[in-house]
Amino acid sequence: MRNVILLLTFLLTATTMAYSQTAVTLTLTDENMELTNVGFKGAYGGWVTEQGYDDGTNGDATAGDFTHTIIVMATEGTYEWGAVDLNDNEAWLINGPNLMFTVDAMGNVTGETSYTVPLEGAPTQLVLTIDDSANQTLTAVSFKGSYGGWASEPGNDDGIDGDATAGDNIWSITVTANSGASYEWGAENTGCTDAAWLIQGPNRMFTVDGAGSVTGETNYTVPAAGAAYPITFRVDMSNEIVSSSGVYVSGDFQECAWNKAELEMTEIQPGIYEITTMARPGMYEYKFFNGDCGDTGCQETADFVVLGCGIDNGLGGTNRLLDLSMLSGAMTQPVYVFNECNTTTVGTNNLNTLEDFSVTPNPFSDIATIDFNYEGNLYSLSVTNTMGQIVKEIYNIDNGQVLLNASDLTPGVYFARLNNDAGEFAIQKIVIR
């Protein structure tokens, strides 16, 4: 009997091991018979590009039939994937959303494991536009889309290349797309150091029919920005080895969206970091970064959709979701644990808020008076810029009023933070003219 139990245990273990990874065959068929060097990439392999084959080897059925093949290994789960033209700077070959397949616990594969590049019709020219007339803040715009392999191309607001009127804050580009297909596209604010994606929500999409007629979305209007208010982000890094280059927060709430080296957070007590910046009402995505290395190696990697506080980012990962739709004044976010949706329970007893204080006048150009409800502790006042850098500090305040001399500061938006010895604080936006 003991031998039977051991045998069953072995068989169960072997079955589990057998399905720990499943071989999945992915194919891309080119009806235009033009592609000779195709690469595959997907969430199953961390979006690293791998060579595909059309030579009758590595799972490819028939050499030279313009069906390119790769065999990948995937554990139980659902995976997005796509393909690129390795002879054209990895131009993206998939029109529409990424393809998706699922591997179940028994190693069965369902979903999309093949894609056909449709036969291209005659090329059609069309004009895409980004309308920023509501804000008039963009200084440089670039367009990209599946019509051009997602290569970035500069747009114009100078009355040429399809642009109707120079200087009207409507940016345009003339692109070429083949008939009989649908295309996704978007645009970037290339006036930012780190080009910021301008499209809120999904990519725009248009279709060119067999006769060359264009339907769908060829214009995007940048929403009116509205008023901005102070928002304080906080994160608990107690479980992490903090990078020597600092802790950052970044998202599409920034004026230059996802500028990952802009907002460096300050350690306000052991393991707890925060920063106050400006944001406008809306729905946003964001993440914390352990270092200023951008996307590679230091961003949060948790599946925030599964954990319950995030959204799919359309790139094979997830972001935190930030609901500021009702923002109408200063807001302080909870202290989230890095890579988790949980709020911290460690070392935050002193992260209490003071009653709001007044700044008179505000805006001001020289001296402002700060009044608050003095409760007997020693207070301090710090002034930070929108990058989170402290530019002025006043210590040992022992009454309910302090004068702030800002004559040595550059005009702009700042944040005044009032702290007491009990660790309580309050934040107000100030504007220096």
Domains and CATH numbers, the chain: 2-117 (2.60.40.10), 123-221 (2.60.40.10), 229-337 (2.60.40.10), 358-432 (2.60.40.1220)
Mean pLDDT over each residue of the chain, to the nearest integer: 87
- pTM for the whole thing? 0.49
Gap between the Cα atoms of 401 and 373, Å rounded: 9
121 pLDDT tier (thresholds 50, 70, 90): confident
Gap between the Cα atoms of 133 and 165, Å rounded: 12
Q: How far is CA 428 from CA 40, 251, 293, 335, 377, in A?
A: 50, 22, 31, 19, 20
* pLDDT score, position 353: 62
Label residue 59 exposed, middle or buried (CB < 10 Å: 0-12, 13-18, 19+).
middle
Gap between the Cα atoms of 379 and 396, Å rounded: 6
Tell me the mean pLDDT in the region 350-369: 81
Name which of 293, 288, 283 is nearest 272 in CA terms. 288
Neighbours of 21 (CB within 10 A): 15
pLDDT at 302 over 70: yes
Name which of 257, 249, 231, 232 is nearest 137 in CA terms. 257
Gap between the Cα atoms of 89 and 93, Å rounded: 11
Gap between the Cα atoms of 354 and 372, Å rounded: 9
Gap between the Cα atoms of 151 and 94, Å rounded: 14
pLDDT at 14 over 70: no
Tell me the mean pLDDT in the region 327-335: 87
Phi-psi region of 195 (alpha: psi -120 to 50; beta: other; left: phi over 0): beta
Neighbours of 20 (CB within 10 A): 11
CB 132 within 8 A of CB 170: yes
**DSSP letters along 64-75, please?**
TSSEEEEEEEE-
Instruction: Find the angle CA(96)-CA(299)-CA(239) to the nearest 5 degrees.
Output: 140
pLDDT at 44 over 90: yes
pLDDT at 87 over 90: yes
Is residue 57 classed as helix, strand or coil in its secondary structure?
A: coil
Q: Percent of the chain beyond pLDDT 70? A: 92
Tell me the mean pLDDT in the region 189-193: 83
Instruction: State both tokens at 226.
Output: 């509205």
Instruction: Find the angle CA(383)-CA(343)-CA(333) to the nearest 5 degrees.
Output: 35
Query: Strand pairing of 229-236 and 331-337?
Result: parallel
* pLDDT score, position 17: 44
Name which of 318, 313, 322 is nearest 300 in CA terms. 318
- Exposure on the CB side of residue 192, measured as CA atoms within 13 A: 20
Minimum mean pLDDT range among 130-134, 163-167, 234-238, 311-315 = 311-315
Q: How far is CA 419 from CA 90, 229, 363, 373, 394, in A?
A: 52, 20, 22, 12, 10
Tell me the mean pLDDT in the region 119-144: 89
pLDDT at 105 over 70: yes
Q: Higher pLDDT residue, 330 or 219?
A: 219
* pLDDT score, position 195: 76
* pLDDT score, position 16: 44
Q: Higher pLDDT residue, 230 or 377?
A: 230
351 pLDDT tier (thresholds 50, 70, 90): low
* pLDDT score, position 186: 96
Which parts of 164-317 are beta strand (E)? 170-178, 181-189, 196-197, 204-208, 214-216, 219-221, 229-236, 247-251, 266-269, 272-279, 283-290, 310-312
Tell me the mean pLDDT in the region 381-396: 85
Tell me the mean pLDDT in the region 341-370: 78
Tell me the mean pLDDT in the region 161-181: 90
Is residue 45 classed as helix, strand or coil in its secondary structure?
A: helix
Minimum mean pLDDT range among 82-91, 193-202, 372-381 = 193-202
Name which of 370, 358, 432 is nearest 402 in CA terms. 370
**DSSP letters along 111-163, please?**
E--EEEEPPP-SEEEEEEEEE-TTT---S-EEEEEGGGTT--EE-B-SS-TT-
pLDDT at 250 over 70: yes
Please give the distance of CA 175 from its chain centroid, rounded to a whole number.
26
Instruction: State both tokens at 328.
Output: 């109408």
Label residue 265 exposed, middle or buried (CB < 10 Å: 0-12, 13-18, 19+).
buried
